[in-house]
Chains A and B, each alone.
Chain A
């Protein structure tokens, strides 16, 4: 049986005031929110802009808000967020500039990931000699930006490095054998708008669709930064 659904879609085109459009569609309850958005685009409004690629939670490009929470719409079934006859409100991620409709500008976000030294495209390097348990989670980051949208601190501090970049920094720090590289990363994160800006709300960890636990990584970096500072006090090299 198909469900009757109302999609309320946040619309925005540069130079025009934002508005909300309402669409009625029929959809199997097991279909995903992205299926719904695609159906609207295919059958009702070709000007609707949204982003997606893989359809199975590995590319991280489709992240949006659905009924006020961040989701990867490609893996969330409509029955998880509403019922037959119900409404799904979709909109762009928070805390990013909106390019058009559901598409946000990820530019700054990717720049920060790169700054940390995380290759955005490229092979995953093996973690030689490292306890893998600490890192395997980071490898899961799909750079979807959901953690930044969920973070109450990113909301009001545009200079905050943000959870994903800090999680990447944690991984790079521990994966590197090069003391200069370690120092470079520490300098990047051990600052006011780095690890110390976090207010421990743990929303990033709660929202991350990929179990990266960015908040846990931020706390790990804080601990490392503290250890390094104490060691410095005694004239020791950073651990």
Chain B
């Protein structure tokens, strides 16, 4: 861990000894028993990582274009199958949750609506849900 970054003259928090350091990472993904804030933290982290994974998948799939028309057409057929469409909705959910929560983090993080951060999170998630329902319906109706 980057202990060198510690302010001068301070020791680092070595963490709880009986608990292995690896276990502390799990804390990112344990919003249970916690306040709403950790849900936002965990959701943002999970969706952020998910989106990065998707980005690489997406680039991988796009590279099929280099292979030729036939492989792309095969891919398109798969892409229109219901299981993949469900995945599309999951992706949309991730984008909406991450994007709107990201807006909240950016706003609150620069000192705006600090006192209403909780309501802001709820509002953003409601917005995301509405757009998800609209978007999800569109995905299946097309």
What residues make up the interface of A, taking CB atoms closer than 8 Å to B?
A: 10, 12, 17-18, 67-69, 92-98, 104, 107-109, 111-112, 115, 148, 150, 152, 154-159, 161-162, 188, 192-193, 198-203, 205-207, 215-216, 219-220, 222-223, 226
Contact = CB atoms under 8 A, between A and B. Distances in A.
B53 interface: no
B25 A200 contact: no
B25 A203 contact: no
Q: How large is the interface on B (under 10, 10 to 19, 20 to 34, 35 or more residues)?
A: 35 or more
Interface string B101-133: 000110011110011011000000000000000
B41 interface: yes
Given A94-B16, A95-B16, A223-B111, A156 B105 contact: no
Interface string B1-23: 11101110111111111110000
Nearest to B13: A158
**B6, B18, B117: most-surrounded residue (chain A CB, <10 A):** B18
Given A68-B33, A111-B10, A200-B117, A223 B110 contact: yes
Interface of B: 1-3, 5-7, 9-19, 24-25, 27-28, 33-38, 40-41, 44, 104-105, 108-111, 114-115, 117-118
Contact of A97 (B1, B3, B5, B14): B14
Contact of B13 (A97, A205, A207): A97
Contacts of A219: 108-111, 114
10 contacts: A92-B16, A111-B11, A112-B10, A115-B9, A152-B27, A155-B25, A158-B1, A158-B6, A159-B13, A200-B41
A220 B115 CA distance: 11
A156 B9 contact: no
- Looking at chain B's contact residues, is the secondary structure mostly helix, strand, loop, or mixed? loop
Contacts of B16: 92-98, 104
Contacts of B117: 200, 202, 215
A220 B13 contact: no
B22 to A, nearest CB: 10
A203 B11 CA distance: 24
B41 A199 contact: yes
